[in-house]
Amino acid sequence: GCKGSSETGTSKNENTSEEENNNEETPVEVQKELVYGRGGDSSSLDPITTTEGEAFKVTVNIYETLLKYSEGGTEVEAGLAKEWKVSDDALTYTFTLQEGVKFHDGTDFNAEAVVYNFNRWMNGDADKFPYYTMFGGYKGDEGHVIKEVKAVDELTVEFTLNRPQAPFLKNLAMSPFGIASPKAIEEFGDKLRENPVGTGPFKFVSWKPDDTITLEKNPDYWMEGYPKLDSIIFKVIPENSARLNALIAGEIDLMDGVNPSDKAQIESNQDLQIFTRPANNVAYLGFNVTKEPFDNKLVRQAIAHAIDKKSIVEAFYGGMAEPAKNPMPPAMEGYNDEIEDYEYDLDKAKELLKEAGFEDGFEMELWAPSIPRDYMPEGMKVAEVIQSSLAEIGITAEIKNDEWVPYLDKLAAGEPEVFMVGWIGDNGDPDNYLYTLLDKDAIGSNNYSYYSSDELHDILIEAQTNADQNARNELYKQAQEIIHEDIPWVPLAHTTPMIVGKKNITNFVPHPTGSDIFTKFEFK
Amino acid sequence: MREKIIEIIGLRTSFFTDEGEIPAVDNVDFHIHEGEILGVVGESGCGKSVTSLSIMGLVPKPPGKVVGGEILLNGQNLVKLPEKKMRQIRGNEVAMIFQEPMTSLNPLFTIGHQLIEGIKIHTKLDKKKSREKAIEIMKRVGLPRTEELLDEYPHQLSGGMRQRVMIAMAMACNPKVLIADEPTTALDVTIQSQILKLMKQLNEEMNTAIMLITHDLGVVAQICERVVVMYAGKIVEEGEVQAIFKNPKHPYTEGLIKSVPDIRTKTERLYSIPGNVPKPGSIKQGCRFAERCEYAFDRCFVENPELYPVDDNGHRVRCFLHTGEEETKHAGAFTTSQ
Amino acid sequence: MFAYTMRRLLMVIPVLIGMTLIVFSILRAIPGDPARQILGQRATKESIAELTTKLGLDQPWYTQYIEYMKGLLTGNLGESLRTKAPISEEIWPFLAATIELALVAMIIAILIGVNAGIISAWFQNSWFDYTAMVIALIGVSMPIFWLGLMEQWAFSIQLGWLPTTGRENIRNPVDAITNLYLLDTLINGRMDQFVEVLKHLILPSIALATIPMAIIARITRSSMLEVMRSDFVRTARAKGVKMFWVVYKHSLKNAVIPVLTVIGLQTGLLLGGAILTETIFGWPGIGRYIFDAIGFRDYPVVQSGILVVATFFVFINLIIDLLYAFIDPRIKYN
Amino acid sequence: MPELVKNELPIKSNVQKDEVISPWKEAWRSFRKNKLALVGTTIVLFFVFLAVFAPVIAPAGIDDKALVNRLKPPSSENWLGTDDFGRDILSRIIYGARISLWVGLLSVLGSAVVGSFLGILAGYYGRWIDTLISRVFDIMLAFPSILLAIAVVAVLGPSLQNALIAIAIINVPNFGRLIRSRVLSVKEEEYITAAKAVGMKDSRILLHHILPNSMAPIIVQGSLAIATAIIEAAALGFLGMGAQPPNPEWGKMLADSKQYLIQAPWTMIFPGLAVMLTVLGFNLMGDGLRDALDPKMKQ
Amino acid sequence: MQEPLLQVSDLKKYFPIKGGVLGKQVGEVKAVDGLSFFVNKGETLGIVGESGCGKSTTGRLILRLLEPTEGKVLFNNQEVTTLSKSELRKLRREMQIIFQDPYASLNPRHTVEKILEEPLIVHGIGDKTERRRRVKEMLEVVGLSSYHAKRYPHQFSGGQRQRIGIAKALMTNPSLIIADEPVSALDVSIQSQVLNLMEDLQKEFGLTYIFIAHDLGVIRHISDRVGVMYLGRIIELADSEKLYTKPLHPYTNALLDAVPIPDPDYKKESTGISGEIPSPSNPPTGCAFHTRCGQCMDICKTTRPEFKEVEEGHYVACHLY
Ligand SMILES: Nc1ncnc2c1ncn2[C@@H]1O[C@H](COP(=O)(O)OP(=O)(O)OP(=O)(O)O)[C@@H](O)[C@H]1O
Ligand SMILES: Nc1ncnc2c1ncn2[C@@H]1O[C@H](COP(=O)(O)OP(=O)(O)OP(=O)(O)O)[C@@H](O)[C@H]1O
Ligand SMILES: [Mg+2]
Ligand SMILES: [Mg+2]
């Protein structure tokens, strides 16, 4: 992901200068309105109340968090807090806030506002504010990380923790933790979800459900000279191809959710350009390791050898992905590049099967998601390819699917024996992959493999509490080796999703989290 | 002698169906005098309705078509007339009423609407005048409660009243000729006699010529002056009522008259014509009645007889027994039809 | 007429109740846990259980049904599990979008279908008749989702004449008042937007209109043929009425009842069948609202959405039935 | 003028001695004359032929994936081109005929049997049974059919079999109503009164008189309903609620290739045409059957 | 006097009229309103009347194809109205009906053979060959050929169909045949064929007919005795000869008057009767005919005249007698 973003970064600088020249020559004609096409509507505009990615695409432009991620990356940078201090025991965090920031309703942003928001969240529950679980639960819960949030003075906030949390700062930068105007919260209560008031570069204007959300420029935005755009319209067009058609027709300016198969067509179109979002995801073929015959490591390895990741990526990711060998994306700190993947080798696969005592193969169900996901735009089709490959080593697979939500329910309940699914990182920390997806603690929630390794557990817990990044990285590399050997899943691919826009777009760097902030975005 | 108001010469009307051409009306000629009542009798399917529709220019097209002959109304050939001219004649100079008073009125429009519509088309009267005229004509045909009736729908009326409405509609513009296609068949006897009386009365008062189609010989005898007998698309006998009933020349006419049970006397056994009414077009050769005729002889099966005059009063018959030459020759020399 | 209207209205009640029952039971039978859906991939078992209790999903079905009916009778369609908004407020824009689309489609279908049918019957066996009926036959055989895609491909992508998706020019949005955009743009006096909205309507409404148009044309033709053979048409002609009026007044009024029946049926099908068209043309209508909700296991939305559409359908048919009586004075008597 | 003599010879019929025309034969005669109906029947038979002999005719298998051959335009090897798995579209369409015809036939058979049963029950016995059944039909018909089908599939889960069941269910009231009204009108026919007057039992009247005389509309409706069922199955497939891969169901094929509309239009055009043609065939045939079988058109 | 074959007393049939918002009964059609008459073995009783006066309903009531509202039907000394279903079925061997519409009364999907054979099957008469033989026989009896057996009804003309209908009625050797306007739909020349046939059959098999028609000529021709119906009641019943030459009831008079005579010399000077039949759902009080009667008295408007025998075998319901 880093490589892609830095490239875009350089070209961005050139573009900026060019664009300034252009501006001088033709000052009038510059487009100031962005129409962003996407596949689904927001479920809420109060980001803490939802876990849906579509919601954050809008809210990151309305709300700001104390800290934010770097452009095109997941390192933490100053946000509403311009600097911060961590105590040595990693239990006290002190933030100094930006001065002169105002909410869209004209009220001042200050330490009290931060305290107000955190108190609101920590006093909620999983139903009201699901995302607050990032901090180990709610006020009064045993695992709750935050002991207290205190306004030291007008512009200083102090967080006291119950126990150290390594990704604490990364968590704070997550989009759900945008700070809302306390006045608006009091005024709207639960209706804040339809009446968002933040400090961000854009103000909320209107929302036509399942159709458009319109934002306009915040003229009092604290970053001098920004935003560049006058307004943004988020437009819902569910079908990927229909959305692309709309883009070609000029009805929209920018879109995500591009069919990989359309890449060639887009490339040949003079008026369009492709941006890539750094990969922060993984698609995998999981085994329920508690079920026969997948409790046998040899069987799992055999299947790993039977999957032609290259062809799959070629055909159904339009090349916009790389075959995966680890559960976490390569751009992430702690990625173990030394691991050698199970190569595509049907003979070897057969051998392993024979060794495992399944010379004649067996029958199995292969579950696949029926709707496109970022990490797996054509899950059903990939499943079909895998099905064909398995057939060659004597395994008869029946493809099964379900609606997305019940599908996840089934996975969580450990029903399917072999399944395809994936994960999009929340905060750019390996913990968000390895612990969340494969630790024994996560069985019943996101550990769909029901894989349980005490060795791995110990490593991951240590990495969670150790504040030294290098030490953590080593621990994670170790973890990846264990996982590679035990192979509870076959990692399939890390996608670099495409974002397609008009040629005259500049200063746009897609963010790995999937939510883009359009502060600097502009048209030539 | 009175003027011929309608004269039909060699009329041929056919239907073109999958089975080929069906000559429903085959070389028919007859005429209607001014102010007379002409009866047309014949069994079902013999072409009575098609003849009358041909006069009105209303033969359903496709599949029907007038393929030959002339229909002269006061000397003007209606067959050749363009639709626009024809429209001005329909309902104005020649009017028509139909058998089923129930289905002949549009169920979705009020009586008034349907009556006034015809008047407006031909008289250019305004709405109010037309209405007055409608009421006047309704009274004339003996309809009660005329004002209210105008706003009622056909289903609210009894069969007899509906037929009176039909007659009122037909008579609205004082037509010279009224064609009545079995106007009383669907009615009860008591109502039938009322309607017949009304028609007779209108005929006398307004001097409208009436072509009355029926299969009831009683009706013919009761109100017609002359009668035309049809069989399988052809006229088999024509003449004054007296002549036809007292001295029928055609075996069919005679059989027909004899088949009807009389209420005045108890007949021991009815006469009956053997066999069935043939479909038009099914007999290609010879006299169409030959197959059912007791007197048929060889010639009848090969040659088509013409209408031979019987006397000077217009009594004509289509039978070889009455050609003059053949009559004596073949008298009594019967061949059965089998 | 009053008694007839009342009787028809009363007959609607058991149907409506039956509908709520069906809607209710269908959705209870769907596997999947709504609590889980709201809380998302990271939810814990406890929080799911908690929410389940809160939503009453652990109650026996009849208790839930009674609650649901109570709500319905007070005009409360429930609350969307996903957006937490009251459905009665949320649903109108979607419904309006579909109504506008269906209405325009139906107007196209009726105008063209009825007239094509009439002219075909009038000039039976003419070349017009043959052409129209062959087109109509192809029309009724058309998978509309395929037609929609082909239309889009030809007129938007290849020719670029018409917009591909949506209801309005995104960059020139309509100020929604009634959410029927044609009406709204007129109220706002924005002719430019009116034209835009109309342009957006063309492709989807034609796709949607195809089948009803073909069916209407066919039924009009056969109904007209039957009527035009009837005695009263002959009577009208015998009076000297112009053929045009014989056809368009005397015959049409009599032939219109089966046509109306079909129009009623098809309007209902349009409301439901719009799902396909709405998906292809990105139309934010009720079909998609329901379809998406099924994916999200948003029970209340699916229930209320289907119920609203079906109720609409029932009332359209009621209106059609009343129209029968209005057209045909004989009907109210039996 | 000669005397008339009594003539009581047996009546000569105008039909040839050995010519027996049953109503079915008569219907077949008029059907045979209907050109459009013959075209329709030919189309239907063509697809039936494809379906039955698919393994013999199809140049390739249902699911011969070859990713190297992806999205090849029509050529001499692949007459209708290949899809995104590199499979031969022609072969898949040929195999798809099996699915579409199967779904159409079976679902219509199901709804015809159930619908006729309920319809006869309601029409013949009347009273509360009629009221009950008719109300249930009313309620089912109050839902737009696709919506109902989607709801049913949502309950049962997406699969070809469930799509088939859903389509059968939504068609039940159509058949039921048709048969009910047919029974109601046949019941009033004089030959039924005549049968009663002979002393016939209800069951015999039902089986020997009412049922045979209600067959014609069932057949007509059946043929037309197959057309609708095929479209509905394709629509469900298109929405992902019908056949599952690698089944070459036409609607599913369309759904799977809609993203290639611009890039590889042949992947869209041919399956769509196949649906349209089959449906057209059944519609034409149904129209012809109606003209031939509907007694209203006769005489 | 011999024992009558059929004795009908005070037979009534009211059809409910439903209406209103809830579809409740709001009235009734008095289709048949108190009929009493008898039929002797071997005779033909003619019933005439204008349409809607209840002729067909009477026929169906006697056969119990309709359940009477009230009254008794005694057939061969057996009470028909209280028979159980299976007894009734047996009885139907003895009583048969011929319908008006030769097109509607034969099942279009059965061959003539099947149509004719069915009554035998139903009553379990004979085996297959016997049944087939009887079908052939019966076809010849009604003037058709045995080779017609394999054909379908639509292959016959109206007159031929009516013959098949008659053959069907005769299959089980019934003693009573109710003929409901059997010739009204036929052409004159065919009508006389069928009438002759019916007469021949009566002689041959000793049948008893109740012959319903609206054509007074036909009734006169075929009947021994004639009953005239008006609004659900018989208003006059007498020997055919008597009734036609010396009608008593003003309605019978008017009816006879109205019939057109196929003789151009015959001139009647009657005025006919005015008005039309009132609706049977709302019949006039008193004598139902008083609204159209030229000799109406005050008593006619209030009191329903009794149906009484004024001469031997001549019954009439009129206050004039
Ligand atoms: N629309 C039509 N199509 C085909 N043939 C027709 C049509 N109308 C009439 N015919 C044929 O024309 C012949 C004459 O019919 P027409 O209606 O004139 O008989 P009719 O004498 O009026 O009989 P009825 O007494 O039954 O009214 C019929 O035998 C019929 O075969
Ligand atoms: N099933 C029924 N339900 C309601 N009313 C009926 C029913 N059958 C007959 N009627 C009414 O009873 C009256 C007598 O009917 P019926 O058929 O006996 O008359 P009819 O004398 O045979 O007349 P037609 O000469 O027309 O055959 C009519 O007014 C008719 O409307
Ligand atoms: Mg006629
Ligand atoms: Mg009757």
- Domain spans of chain E? 6-83+218-260+270-316
- Residue-level pLDDT at D1: 33
CB of residue B278 inside a 6 A radius of ligand 1: no
Q: What is the pLDDT of residues C202-247, one digit of tens each?
A: 999 999 999 899 999 999 998 998 888 888 898 898 888 888 999 9
Task: For residue B87, give both structure tokens.
Answer: 């429209």
- Residue-level pLDDT at B11: 92
D215 near C CB under 8 A: no
The reply to whether B56 and B147 lie within a common domain is yes
The reply to whether B107 and B129 lie within a common domain is yes
C229 near E CB under 8 A: no
Residue entry with tokens 């003929």: E179
Strands A76-78 vs A67-69: parallel, antiparallel or unpaired: antiparallel
Task: For residue E82, give both structure tokens.
Answer: 């209280």
Q: Please return the burial class of A524, using the count of CB atoms within 10 Å of its CB with bins 0-12, 13-18 and 19+.
A: middle
Inform me whether the pLDDT recorded for C153 exceeds 50: yes
The reply to whether B247 and B220 lie within a common domain is no
pLDDT band for position A93 (cuts 50, 70, 90): very high
- Residue-level pLDDT at A22: 45
Task: Sketch out chain D's domains with CATH numbers.
Answer: 33-297 (1.10.3720.10)
Last residue of a domain, one of B162, B192, B224: B224
The reply to whether B13 and B154 lie within a common domain is yes
C178 near A CB under 8 A: no
- Domain spans of chain C? 2-73, 91-327
Determine the average pLDDT of the residues in E118-143. 88
Inform me whether the pLDDT recorded for A23 exceeds 60: no
Specify whether the CB–CB gap between B106 and B154 falls below 8 A. yes
The CATH code of the domain that includes B67 is 3.40.50.300
The reply to whether B195 and B236 lie within a common domain is no
- Residue-level pLDDT at D278: 92
Nearest to D199 among E108, E123, E150 (CB): E123
- Residue-level pLDDT at D105: 92
The reply to whether B55 and B119 lie within a common domain is yes
C-alpha to C-alpha distance for C289 and C302, rounded to whole angstroms:
8
Q: What are phi and psi of A259, to 5 degrees?
A: -65, 125
C-alpha to C-alpha distance for C9 and A401, rounded to whole angstroms:
44
The better pLDDT of the pair A28, B3 is held by B3
Q: What is the pLDDT of residues B235-251, one digit of tens each?
A: 999 999 988 998 888 99
- Residue-level pLDDT at C192: 86
> Looking at beta carbons, which pairs linking B252-256 to residues 24 or more positions away fall under 8 Å?
B252/B289, B252/B292, B252/B293, B253/B229, B253/B317, B254/D4, B255/D4, B255/E189, B256/B41, B256/B43, B256/B217, B256/B229, B256/E188, B256/E189
Task: For residue B319, give both structure tokens.
Answer: 């039978």
D188 to chain E: nearest residue by CA?
Answer: E104
Whole-model pTM: value is 0.82
CB of residue B48 inside a 6 A radius of ligand 1: yes
Inform me whether the pLDDT recorded for C145 exceeds 80: yes
Tell me, what DSSP letter sits at residue C86? B
Closest ligand by atom to B48 CA: 1
CB of residue B44 inside a 6 A radius of ligand 1: yes
- Specify if B285 maps to a domain: yes
How many residues can be counted in chain A?
Answer: 524
Separation of CA E64 and ligand 3 centre (Å): 37
- Residue-level pLDDT at E20: 64
* Contact yes or no for A130 and C83 at CB 8 A: no
Determine the average pLDDT of the residues in A307-323. 86
CB of residue E15 inside a 6 A radius of ligand 2: yes
- Specify if B219 maps to a domain: yes
Q: What is the pLDDT of residues E71-117, one digit of tens each?
A: 999 998 889 888 888 888 888 888 899 988 877 888 888 888 888 99
Determine the average pLDDT of the residues in A172-198. 90
C-alpha to C-alpha distance for D190 and E98, rounded to whole angstroms:
10
C-alpha to C-alpha distance for B226 and B223, rounded to whole angstroms:
9
- Residue-level pLDDT at C132: 92
Give me the residues paired with residue A321 across strands.
Answer: A495
* Contact yes or no for D198 and E96 at CB 8 A: yes
- Residue-level pLDDT at E145: 82
Q: What is the pLDDT of residues D245-277, one digit of tens each?
A: 778 888 888 888 877 877 788 888 899 999 999
Average model confidence (pLDDT) for chain A? Answer: 85
Average model confidence (pLDDT) for chain C? Answer: 83
Measured in whole angstroms, the distance separating CA C60 from the mean position of its chain's CA atoms is 34
C6 near E CB under 8 A: yes
Nearest to C32 by CA among A412, D294, D159: A412
Task: For residue D231, give both structure tokens.
Answer: 């479209």
Give me the residues paired with residue A423 across strands.
Answer: A282
- Residue-level pLDDT at D185: 84
Inform me whether the pLDDT recorded for A404 exceeds 80: no
**Helices assigned H by DSSP within B105-158:** 111-123, 127-140, 146-150
The one-letter amino acid at B169: M
Q: CATH topology for E6-83+218-260+270-316? A: Rossmann fold (3.40.50)
Cα distances from B296 to residues B277, B279, B286, B305, in angstroms, run 16, 19, 10, 12
- Specify if B338 maps to a domain: no
Inform me whether the pLDDT recorded for D15 exceeds 60: no
Virtual CA dihedral for A461, A465, A467, A473, nearest 10 degrees? 10
Cα distances from A481 to residues A341, A441, A459, B88, in angstroms, run 11, 19, 12, 102
D209 to chain E: nearest residue by CA?
Answer: E107
Nearest to A241 among D65, D85, D259 (CB): D259
Q: Please return the burial class of C68, using the count of CB atoms within 10 Å of its CB with bins 0-12, 13-18 and 19+.
A: buried
The reply to whether B202 and B260 lie within a common domain is no
C-alpha to C-alpha distance for A24 and A6, rounded to whole angstroms:
28
Inform me whether the pLDDT recorded for D12 exceeds 50: no
Cα distances from E75 to residues C109, E7, E8, E59, in angstroms, run 64, 6, 8, 13
- Residue-level pLDDT at C169: 79
Nearest-Cα distance to chain D for B324, in Å, is: 13
Inform me whether the pLDDT recorded for B37 exceeds 50: yes
Cβ neighbours for A372, distance < 8 A, ≥ 6 positions apart? A240, A257, A378, A379
Task: Tell me the ipTM for this assembly.
Answer: 0.80
Q: What is the pLDDT of residues E19-64, one digit of tens each?
A: 666 667 778 888 898 899 999 999 999 999 988 889 999 999 998 9
- Residue-level pLDDT at D190: 84
Determine the average pLDDT of the residues in D40-57. 91
C-alpha to C-alpha distance for B42 and D181, rounded to whole angstroms:
39
Q: What is the pLDDT of residues B47-71, one digit of tens each?
A: 899 999 999 888 887 788 899 899 9
B192 to chain E: nearest residue by CA?
Answer: E258
Nearest to B107 by CA among B153, B39, B70: B153
Nearest to E132 by CA among E119, E143, E116, E144: E116
CB of residue E57 inside a 6 A radius of ligand 2: yes
Query: How many domains, in total, are found in chain B?
Result: 2
- Residue-level pLDDT at A164: 84
Highest mean pLDDT among A77-81, B319-323, D126-130, E158-162: A77-81
Domain with B240, as residue range(s), is 231-329
Q: What is the pLDDT of residues A111-137, one digit of tens each?
A: 999 999 999 998 887 767 877 877 877
Cα distances from B162 to residues A365, B95, E50, E278, in angstroms, run 77, 16, 17, 16
Determine the average pLDDT of the residues in B129-143. 87
| CATH superfamily for domain C91-327 | MetI-like (1.10.3720.10)
Task: For residue B284, give both structure tokens.
Answer: 């290609």
The better pLDDT of the pair B334, C161 is held by C161
Q: What is the pLDDT of residues C292-318, one digit of tens each?
A: 887 777 777 888 888 888 888 888 888
CB of residue E49 inside a 6 A radius of ligand 2: yes
pLDDT band for position A19 (cuts 50, 70, 90): very low
The reply to whether B262 and B186 lie within a common domain is no
C-alpha to C-alpha distance for A327 and B289, rounded to whole angstroms:
101
Neighbours of ion ligand 4 (CB under 5 A): E 56
The reply to whether B308 and B167 lie within a common domain is no
Q: Which one of C235, C254, C326, C327 would you mutate to disrupt binding with B, by most B Cβ within 10 Å of its Cβ? A: C235
The reply to whether B207 and B285 lie within a common domain is no
C-alpha to C-alpha distance for A490 and A301, rounded to whole angstroms:
8
How many residues can be counted in chain D?
Answer: 299
